[in-house]
Every structure is written in structure tokens, then in C-alpha cells.
């Protein structure tokens, strides 16, 4: 797992991961890239991350992928990421395509629901929590 301040250099990360697994004998490499769209007058999105729990969440997926003979990777931004740049890339490598196609779907959806990352719209230089697009994590409401 890799965290970077500001937008991701997607081409560099994509190439680095490809090189890392060049001789691993995986037949499939499926990346997912998240790019910031210009909408609702935003200048950027901004992100807070709680790294200890993100790392645990990610290690859970590393194990799950290993059981299927596959490998997962991800990188995410911290702080401001301007429109038309990217804040997120994840990927699955697997021996054959079917495992990678299914795993990238589950991995990205679970990321959205349970990775401890908070998103803010940036408008006129101000950060506004994207509450309406956020999802309570599993087990929420314990203290209510």
C-alpha cells in the first residue's frame, strides 16, 4: 500500500507495479483508477486517512487475494487532489482473468465502504465534508 501527498503519478505507479510483477507469471493485470471529475463547482477533492486501520484493512485483502493465488495493490492520495487528476489506483494481478475481474470489483467496492478515508469537496479554498456521499463503516452506531 502506498500513500502520497497530492495527486498520484498514475503512469509511474502503473509502470512500477507492472515491472514489480514482470516475472511473477501472472496472466492478468487489472488496474482501477479514480480520477476527480469537475462537477458542482469543485476545484479539488481533499482526503484525510487513518493509516493504522487502513493498513489492517488492506492486509486483510492481501491475505484474501493470496488464497486465490492473486495479488492486490493500492495507492491513495492524502490532502488536495485537483480536478482531472487522480487520487486512487488499485490493481489485481492473478494467474487467469476471471479471479482478477471478480476480485477488483469486490476490492474496490469494499474499499469504498470500509477504508478509513474521509473526502472533502474543495470550493473557494474551503474543505467541505462530502457527507452525502459517505458510508458508515461496518459496525457503526455502537456508541449511540
Partner 1 sequence: MVKVEFLGPISQEVLELEAKTLADVATQLQNIETIAPWLSKCAVAVNDQMVSDLSMILKSGDKISILPPVCGG
Q: Is 18 in the site for partner 1 (CB under 8 A)?
A: no
The C-alpha cell at 39 is: 462537477
Q: Is 130 in the site for partner 1 (CB under 8 A)?
A: yes
Which residue from 10, 76, 94, 104 is in contact with partner 1, where contact means CB under 8 A? Answer: 76
* Residue of 31, 30, 104 lying closest to 65 (CA atoms): 104
Q: Are residues 73 and 129 in contact, defined by beta-carbon separation less than 8 angstroms?
A: no
Stretch that binds partner 1, among 3-11, 17-25, 44-52, 62-70 (CB under 8 A): 44-52
Q: Are residues 135 and 113 in contact, defined by beta-carbon separation less than 8 angstroms?
A: yes
The C-alpha cell at 3 is: 500513500
- Pick between residue 26 and residue 88 the one whose CB is nearest to partner 1: 88
Q: Which residue has the cell 470489483?
A: 105
Binding residues (CB under 8 A) for partner 1: these are: 34, 47-48, 50, 52-53, 56, 76, 87-88, 108, 111-120, 129-131, 133-144
Amino acid at each position: 500500500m502506498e500513500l502520497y501527498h497530492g495527486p498520484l503519478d498514475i503512469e509511474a505507479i502503473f509502470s512500477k507495479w507492472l515491472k514489480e510483477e514482470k516475472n511473477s507469471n501472472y496472466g492478468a493485470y487489472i488496474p482501477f483508477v479514480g480520477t476527480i471529475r469537475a462537477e458542482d463547482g469543485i476545484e479539488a477533492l481533499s482526503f484525510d486517512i487513518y493509516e493504522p486501520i487502513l493498513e489492517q484493512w488492506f492486509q486483510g485483502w492481501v491475505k484474501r487475494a493470496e488464497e486465490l493465488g492473486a495479488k492486490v495493490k493500492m495507492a491513495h492520495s492524502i490532502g488536495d487532489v485537483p480536478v482531472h487528476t487522480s487520487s486512487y489506483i488499485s490493481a489485481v494481478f492473478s494467474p487467469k482473468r476471471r479471479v482478477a475481474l471478480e476480485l477488483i470489483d469486490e476490492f474496490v467496492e469494499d474499499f469504498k465502504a470500509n477504508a478509513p478515508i474521509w473526502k472533502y469537496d474543495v470550493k473557494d479554498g474551503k474543505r467541505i465534508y462530502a457527507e452525502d456521499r459517505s458510508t458508515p463503516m461496518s459496525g457503526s452506531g455502537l456508541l449511540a
